[in-house]
Amino acid sequence: VSATGRGPADVLVDGTRIAAVLAPGSTLLGHDLAGSVDRVIDASGKYVIPGGIDAHTHMQLPFGGTEASDTFETGTIAAAWGGTTSIIDFAVQRTGERVEDGLAAWHEKAAGNCAVDYGFHQIIGGVDDDALKAMERLVEEGITSYKLFMAYPGVFYSDDAQVLRAMQKAADLGLLTMMHAENGPAIDVLAAQLAESGRTDPYFHGVARAWQLEEEATHRAIMLADVTGAPLYVVHVSAKQAVAQIAGARDAGKNVFGETCPQYLYLSLEEQLGASSEQWGAFEGAKWVCSTPLRSRAEGHQESMWRALRTNDLQMVSTDHCPFCMKDQKELGLGDFRKIPNGIGSVEHRMDLMYQGVVTGEITLERWVELTSTTPARMFGLAGRKGVIAPGADADVVVYDPRGRTSIGVGKTHHMNMDHSAWEGFEVDGHVDVVLSRGEVVVADGQFHGRPGHGEYLRRGLTQYLA
């Protein structure tokens, strides 16, 4: 299955690359194919797809007074289990830090520890003359996209002047600007008012982060980008009104793109409000505290995200994998939702969760491959190597069994370093059977055969969505 079609085929892998895609029964220089190779993987009755590319992860992210619980090792092993063979993680420059130092620290965390290939985007958390100068070196480092935050004052935040200056630089360099589009200063006022009036449960995180403040920031980001001529990629879109802003910009011919995440397709604010457990009471809802927040199902946001994925108003699905345990991490926000570290862990489940959208008829099989692999490769400068099964491409291949079944949850399918799953109890009518990363079988027969250190750093080219 590719982004453009499906059909029976034999895939020949030579070393780390795809050598050929052949009609079934083809011979190799007159010899029977199966008799001429070292190993045959029988995928009859199953789908053979390019390995998933998760373009939005946060391994070991220092955040909210703690650090995301998956290391590059545990997080990429979980990714492999779930059919994701490349991640693009966010190297971080916080306000007050040098970009070069932030990036060097990220290489140190990842190098030699990843089970699948990895690249970086650069978070610029403090736009100033030094940071703008440092952006000039990113392309040669293979980092062709960077993220700004209109949210989180005091941590990563950029004001409009800083956003504009960074975008001007990005336009010059050909860098893709990724935007966390929420009005942080306004959110912080609402959050303080809620907390101070005793509304401290996790649910109020989503109340403070009103959809209007996502719509407004998305609009502002689009307009600032348009003034500078910079292309824009809006991350973790969850509000249907933000999608409308992106769709409008695209209709007007602007280079604006957007991603959503499985949590915004499947989970809702109402479910977070209803969440309760013996151990945590209403604090159970902390498992689903992420930004942008889960949105109201009654308002139709989830439905709108699926529609946008069909109509190409949104182009990709990434996880925004940012795992925190309840114990010692999420529980920092007991009594004050503002102190709950933001994030959900899903790197292991993206391919399965999106396949469930094929089963339910929300998207086609081809669109599944496009949203999870082919478009991420093109968007982030990996086309040719990743995102396709074609001669010359890396042999990142997943055999997916549509007759299999995947039960998600702790003690079931769960290799992420988390003491809970945001997806506990989810059942998917499909199963990742075999995973190859650059020609090596890393998952097969229900076992992990890979190793940390196998994953290589991906030097990415410029986005292939612009002329």
The contact set with Zn ion (CB under 5 A) reads: 180, 320
Q: What is the dihedral of CA 415, 398, 457, 322, to 10 degrees?
A: -40
Give, as ranges, the residues between 369 and 428 that touch ligand URP (CB under 6 A): none
Residues facing 88 on adjacent strands:
119
Smallest gap from residue 236 Cβ to Zn ion (A): 6
Question: CB-wise, 180 or 349, nearer to ligand URP?
Answer: 180
Smallest gap from residue 439 Cβ to ligand URP (A): 32
Smallest gap from residue 264 Cβ to ligand URP (A): 11
Label residue 270 left, alpha or beta by phi (over 0 means left) and psi (-120 to 50 means alpha): alpha
82 touches which of ligand URP, Zn ion, none (CB within 5 to 8 A by kind)?
Answer: none
342 touches which of Zn ion, ligand URP, none (CB within 5 to 8 A by kind)?
Answer: ligand URP
Smallest gap from residue 319 Cβ to Zn ion (A): 9
Smallest gap from residue 288 Cβ to ligand URP (A): 10
Give, as ranges, the residues between 157 and 196 that touch ligand URP (CB under 6 A): 180
Smallest gap from residue 107 Cβ to ligand URP (A): 20
Residues facing 49 on adjacent strands:
398
What DSSP line would sit under 92-143, residue for residue? EE-TTS-HHHHHHHHHHHHTTT-SSEEEEEEEE-S-SHHHHHHHTTTGGGT-
Smallest gap from residue 293 Cβ to ligand URP (A): 8
Question: CB-wise, 324 or 368, nearer to ligand URP?
Answer: 324
Binding flag, residue 58, ligand URP (CB under 6 A): yes
Smallest gap from residue 454 Cβ to ligand URP (A): 26
Q: Count of alpha carbons within 13 Å of 278, Cβ hemisphere only? A: 0
**Closest CB to ligand URP belongs to which residue?**
342
Give, as ranges, the residues between 207 and 246 that touch ligand URP (CB under 6 A): 236
Q: Is 377 helix (H, G, I), strand (E, B) or coil?
A: helix
Q: How far apart are CA 249 and CA 328, in angstroms?
A: 43
Instruction: Out of 175, 187, 191, 290, name the contact with ligand URP by CB under 6 A.
Output: 290
Q: Tell which residue, 326, 230, 233, has the closest CA to residue 283.
A: 326
Neighbours of 18 (CB within 10 A): 22
Question: CB-wise, 89 or 396, nearer to ligand URP?
Answer: 89
343 touches which of ligand URP, Zn ion, none (CB within 5 to 8 A by kind)?
Answer: ligand URP
Cis link prior to 71 (omega < 30° from 0)? no
Q: Do the Cβ atoms of 316 and 371 come closer than 8 Å?
A: yes
Q: How far apart are CA 268 and CA 295, in angstroms?
A: 5
Instruction: Out of 57, 113, 291, 315, name the contact with ligand URP by CB under 6 A.
Output: 291
Question: CB-wise, 50 or 376, nearer to Zn ion?
Answer: 376
Question: CB-wise, 346 or 373, nearer to ligand URP?
Answer: 346
Smallest gap from residue 44 Cβ to Zn ion (A): 39
- What are the start-end ranges of the H helices in 275-417? 301-311, 350-359, 365-369, 375-379
Instruction: Out of 343, 376, 381, 387, name the contact with ligand URP by CB under 6 A.
Output: 343
Q: Do the Cβ atoms of 194 and 146 come closer than 8 Å?
A: no
Q: Is 320 helix (H, G, I), strand (E, B) or coil?
A: coil
Question: CB-wise, 290 or 399, nearer to ligand URP?
Answer: 290
Q: What is the dihedral of CA 236, 56, 224, 140, to 10 degrees?
A: -170
Question: CB-wise, 319 or 374, nearer to Zn ion?
Answer: 319
Q: How far apart are CA 198 and CA 107, in angstroms?
A: 42
Give, as ranges, the residues between 301 and 340 that touch ligand URP (CB under 6 A): 320, 322
Contacting residues toward ligand URP, per CB under 6 A:
58, 180, 236, 290-291, 320, 322, 342-343
